[in-house]
């Protein structure tokens, strides 16, 4: 019997990050399962619901079938990429899950 939560789907181990053959893809985690993964690096997939750009940080709201996750972007290079994304872009984001009372569902993603 598998120990995966109902919000995780395993990717076959033969799949690799496009453009980098040494990095395997992480199993997909659904937004509804993020609270169970605090302190872990996860991969979420969905579409860009909304984004806010502040002076030193951007916030991306990524929606999947189970809810909305807030992604905190501080790296200038990643912020440049985020600024170029049109609304409703389909994304796969790998980041660290952090508890935050201000974020939707009490968690957000850092260091994408």
Domain count, the chain: 1
Closest CA to 82 of 108, 45, 57: 57
Q: The CATH number of the domain where 42 resides is what? A: 2.40.50.140
CA quadruple 76, 50, 23, 8: dihedral sign: positive
Domain that holds residue 51: 29-110
pLDDT at 99: 96
Check residues 9 and 87 and name the one with the higher pLDDT: 87
Q: What is the mean pLDDT of the chain?
A: 83
DSSP secondary structure code for residue 51 in this structure? E
pLDDT at 18: 52
Per residue in 34-67, pLDDT (tens digit) is 999 999 999 999 999 999 999 999 999 999 999 9
pTM for the complete prediction? 0.78
Q: Residue 69 in contact with residue 62, Cβ under 8 Å?
A: yes
């Amino acid at each position: 019997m598998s120990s995966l939560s109902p919000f995780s789907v395993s990717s076959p181990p033969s799949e690799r990050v496009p453009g980098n053959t040494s990095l395997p893809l992480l199993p997909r985690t659904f937004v509804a399962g993020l609270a169970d993964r605090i302190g872990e690096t996860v991969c979420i997939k969905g579409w860009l619901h909304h984004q806010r750009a502040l002076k030193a940080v951007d916030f991306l709201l990524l929606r999947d079938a189970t809810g909305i996750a807030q992604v905190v972007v501080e790296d200038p290079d990643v912020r440049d990429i985020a600024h170029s994304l049109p609304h409703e872009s389909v994304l796969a984001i790998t980041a660290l899950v952090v508890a935050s009372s201000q974020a939707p569902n009490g968690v957000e993603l850092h260091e994408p």
